[in-house]
Amino acid sequence: MNALTLAYIAIAVFMLMSIGLFLSAREFLRISDDPSQIVGVKSEQEKSYSEQ
């Protein structure tokens, strides 16, 4: 393997890692906006009403 091939592999790995990080951050922000929109998850306000 020459240096150019290693550079291409490094760039490809970096791009895949960046895409994974972006998708993970996007999913985290989507879930943390309002967890009550997810099926099976109650918001804190709904939990307090159901416990009373």
Residue 4: pLDDT band with limits 50, 70, 90 = very high
Distance between CA 23 and CA 13 in Å, rounded?
A: 15
pTM (predicted TM-score): 0.58
- The tens digit of pLDDT for each residue in 30-49 reads 888 765 665 555 655 555 55
Coil, strand or helix at 1: coil
DSSP 24-42: HHHHHHHHHH-GGGSTT--
